[in-house]
Structure 1
Amino acid sequence: MIPLSVLDLSVTTTATKASVALRNSIDLAVHIDGLGYVRYWTAEHHSLSSVASPAPDVMIGQIAAVTKHIHVGAGGVMLPNHAPLVVAERFKMLEALFPGRIDLGLGRAPGTDGTTAYALRSRLDRREGDDFLERLHELTLWETREFPDGHPYHNVIAMPDDVPLPPIWLLGSSDYSSELAAQVGMGFAFAHHFASHDAVTAMVNYRARFQPSRWRATPHAILAVAVVTAETDAEADRLASSMDLNRLRRDRGTYAPLPSPQEAQAYPYTDADRASIARNRKRLFVGSPATVMAKLKPMIEESQADELMVISAIFDHQARKRSYSLLAEAFGLKAP
């Protein structure tokens, strides 16, 4: 069966403050480590009351220190917010401390609004526009040390210099990142949970056009999906109602903490609201293990995914842990 991984946003709820959400992420990672999942990624978001973690590298170090088996990584570092040298140094440090267990996922988006993005970058440089490709190239040059003679960075060394950068993955929700990942020969992760672009097309094209490189000899495509699993379809649907209302508010520009199922079910939805929720449910995989497996299997096969990465934004922390346990059982994962 296909390997399973986790993408964790450290989601806050109306009952869980940001500091508690961060500790819950560490607790969840320990739980996941014992179930047979292969990867645990943390995200980068800024100035959002719904997401607690703006610093995936900090979370990676904390999680790697209390787990034993899973790969721990960024899903991802929003590269436009950071000097490539800083990213190289931090992830080489993590690789030195936890050799063979670190992943470096990179995203093009700022992970926030325009004003916050400006505040993050205003002291770095004055470049305008999408400079992701330029930053990615610079990041790889810190690893290869192929800055030409006379370049101001030629004699600068990304420390620690006796360990490599961990594996690099490009994240995306469109065809741009799939094309780029194939061209440069890196791993690729597609965000089906919020993408409007067709996941199957992006992932199949990535595999077909992949060029072997010093970074990867063969393609590896991760399909990231939103899943809510419970013992019954009815209970899973109740738990997923929190995500329904949360998404409805996000579409209106409100990034609030995740509401409880009770609040979501009592909300006075209009017909237009219900239609919007029904459209968004096409991005979610909700139900008992058997129901979820039946929904996931066609997309896994059509996309030719090498790995399934699951995000489960569930109000109750214990219910979220149970959801991942049920999914592990359904996929036949073996405890390490």
Structure 2
Amino acid sequence: MTLPLSILDLAPVPDGTTSPEALQNIVSLARLGDELGYTRVWYAEHHGMPSIASSSPEVLIATAAANTRRIHVGSGGVMLPNHVPLRVVETYRTLNGLHPGRIDLGIGRAGGSDGRTLSALRSTDGSYFSHELAELLAFEEGTFPADHPFAPIAVVPEKVALPPIFLLGSSGASAAAAGQLGVGYSFAAHFSATPAAPAFAAYRAAFRPSAQFDRPHAILAVSALVAPSEEEARYLSSSQAVSWALFHSGDLRRLLAPEQASKWPLTPQQEAIVANQGKLWIVGDQQQVKATIEAQAEAAGADEVMVTTTAWSHAHRLRSYRLLADAFGLT
């Protein structure tokens, strides 16, 4: 069987473009994924980053779902510490009512930004994640004790279930919890150097069937860029490399064009950042990227691979996803 592939879209804002253009681009990518046979497209939640426009995944989800026919659309994810659990239940029930059977609810424990921005969001400490998740599920399932102050609350819209839940992780901390709850699990190998295999093994070992999932479903998220040649792919990936180095040096700016990035002078510290993080980026021609993704999926024990592609040109991003779909024979 063909390995299921999906798309993780951060709504990148390249240098020389505008945020409205980046937001419009999510529609063309979602439509392409729908046409090519990708399983799902998710939108990440990030705040306070000039190079990323995906601060409101639920708005992007509603827009993408309204402009596609088949593909699942969801959050990758809702950063629960930034939100009141009841509001999340209401929002994603509404989305699932509008687009039945096509919405996913990915939930993460991180804040998705720097400390100052998170304080403006009234974000809670990640240590409250288990409590917030339990509260969210209690609202959905109506399982508050009779004497709990939230027990009488009517959650609306009524008679609409939450979409399938996926817990997100980058270290394995959420893996066993995802299994015990009987939900899906997604591992962020696109930025985490922690091996995914132990997390997936813990998830499967702890898994208990639920109303949402009768079997485990593990998604491996990777960063990949495909071009007709390895040489071109590596040239285009210089945008991601330099932007990552600048970001982790405290220089927040939009994604640079490869013409600039390939000539950008990096300090020894920044070069070390790129050398370390670059090990996680899958860059090459169709067959090189396909072979690497298949090897990583097999090693991790993944049921599905979700791909995020960083390139300055939106046209090159679309081309990369086309080439990847062709390499894997998606339909």
What residue is the counterpart of 1:295 in the other structure?
292
Deviation at 1:109, TM superposition (A): 0.6
**Aligned partners of 1:324 and 1:43: how far apart in 2?**
18
Q: What one-letter code is carried by the residue in structure 2 that aligns with 1:74?
A: S
Deviation at 1:270, TM superposition (A): 4.1
- Give the 4+ runs in structure 1 shifted more than 6 A: none
Aligned ranges 1:1-336 → 2 under 5 Å:
1-121=2-122, 130-334=127-331
Alpha carbons 1:200, 1:299 under 8 Å: kept: no
Q: What one-letter code is carried by the residue in structure 1 that aligns with 2:13?
A: T
* TM norm structure 1: 0.95
Alpha carbons 2:233, 2:284 under 8 Å: kept: yes
Task: Please give the secondary structure, in 2, of the residue aligned with 1:130.
Answer: helix
Q: What one-letter code is carried by the residue in structure 2 that aligns with 1:104?
A: L
**Structure 1 residues 162 and 302 mapped into 2: Cα distance closer, same or farther (>3 Å)?**
same
Q: What one-letter code is carried by the residue in structure 1 that aligns with 2:61?
A: I
- Worse-superposed segment, 113-122 or 130-139: 113-122
Alpha-carbon deviations, 1:17-48, whole Å to 9, x = none?
A: 11110101111111111000010001111111
Deviation at 1:196, TM superposition (A): 2.8
**Aligned partners of 1:314 and 1:27: how far apart in 2?**
15
Task: Please give the secondary structure, in 2, of the residue aligned with 1:326.
Answer: helix
Deviation at 1:129, TM superposition (A): 5.6
Alpha carbons 2:245, 2:271 under 8 Å: kept: no
Give ranges in structure 1 of 5+ residues lacking alignment: none
Q: What one-letter code is carried by the residue in structure 2 that aligns with 1:130?
A: S
Deviation at 1:294, TM superposition (A): 2.0
* TM norm structure 2: 0.96
Q: What one-letter code is carried by the residue in structure 1 that aligns with 2:62?
A: G
Identity rate, percent? 45
Task: Please give the secondary structure, in 2, of the residue aligned with 1:224.
Answer: strand
Task: Please give the secondary structure, in 2, of the residue aligned with 1:247.
Answer: helix
Alpha carbons 1:50, 1:256 under 8 Å: kept: yes
Aligned residues: 330
Alpha-carbon deviations, 1:48-81, whole Å to 9, x = none?
A: 1111121101110011000001000000011011
**Aligned partners of 1:180 and 1:160: how far apart in 2?**
27
Deviation at 1:187, TM superposition (A): 0.3
Alpha-carbon deviations, 1:135-166, whole Å to 9, x = none?
A: 10011111110111121111112111111000
Q: What one-letter code is carried by the residue in structure 1 that aligns with 2:209?
A: P
**Aligned partners of 1:128 and 1:288: how far apart in 2?**
42
- Worse-superposed segment, 109-118 or 206-215: 206-215
Task: Please give the secondary structure, in 2, of the residue aligned with 1:106.
Answer: strand
Task: Please give the secondary structure, in 2, of the residue aligned with 1:190.
Answer: strand
**Aligned partners of 1:18 and 1:54: how far apart in 2?**
11
Alpha carbons 1:45, 1:53 under 8 Å: kept: yes
